[in-house]
Amino acid sequence: MCWAVPAKVISIESDLIATVDLGGNTIKKVAVGVDNVRLGDFVMVHAGVIISKLSKEEVIENIKFIAEQIREVSEITGEDPEKTVKEYTDSMYKLLGQLDEKNG
């Protein structure tokens, strides 16, 4: 189970209640289930409670994990690991680049 979505903390009422924006000015009052939540933090919200934080560094770690899997699998299937990983990382950073451009 456990449906959860990313959101941005836009105000902190107390150490218990915060308000988040789920994108496009979609606002919800939620309970705080993590330590040290700060204004502007990105978080995951499940059933009206913040269950964890999100950060850019961790997204990068996530991308790296996938790269590592692709590398190891390429070694098994006999492809060129350097080539497949490069193709993958290039395409991921290209997507990120397009997004940054859009946001100026």
Partner 1 sequence: MRKMDKITIAHGNGGKETQQLLQRYLFSKLPEELKRTPGGVGIDYPDDGALVSNLVISTDSHTVNPYFFPGGSIGKLAVSGTLNDVIMMGGRPTAILDSIIVSEGFPLPSLDKIIDDMISVLREYKIPLIGGDFKVIPSDSMKGIVINTVGLGISKRPIVDKIRPGDSIIVTGPIGTHGAVIAALQYGIGTSLESDAKPLMKLLDLFEKFDQDIHAARDPTRGGLAATLNEWAQLSGEMIVVEEKKIPVLEEVKSISSMTGIDPLSLASEGVGVIALPSEKENEVLEELNKLGFTPAVIGRVLNPKDIENNSLVILRTLAGGTRILEMPVGDIVPRIC
Partner 2 sequence: MDLPKEIEILFRENSELAKKLSEEISKLTPKVIEKTGLERIKIMNFCGTHEWTTTHYGIRSLMPEEVELIAGPGCPVCVTPSSDIKNMIKLAMDGYVVYTFGDAYKLPTVSHYKEGIGSLASAKASGADVRIVYSFVDAIEDAKTHGKPSVFFGLGFETTAPSYAVLFKKEVIPKNLMFYSSLKLTAPAAIYAIKIHKMSKRSPVSGVIGPGHVSTIVGSKGWDFFPEEFGIPAVVSGFEPVDILTAVLTILKDLYTGKAKLTDLEYKRVVTRDGNIYAQDAVREIFRTTDTIWRGIGNIPNSGLDLRDPFKEFNAKLQLNIKENPWDYDLPPGCKCNEVTLGTAYPTDCPLFMKACTPSRPWGPCMVSLEGSCAVWARFGSSQRVLNLMKEVRE
Residues that bind partner 1 (CB under 8 A): 1-3, 5, 22-29, 45-47
Tell me how far, at minimum, the Cβ of 38 lies from partner 2, in Å: 14
| Cβ 61 vs Cβ 47: under 8 Å | no
> What radius of gyration, in Å, describes the C-alpha atoms of the chain?
18
Inter-helix orientation angle 81-102/56-77, to 10°? 150
Nearer to partner 2, 12 or 92 (CB): 92
18 sits near partner 2 (criterion: CB under 8 A): no
Nearer to partner 2, 38 or 99 (CB): 99
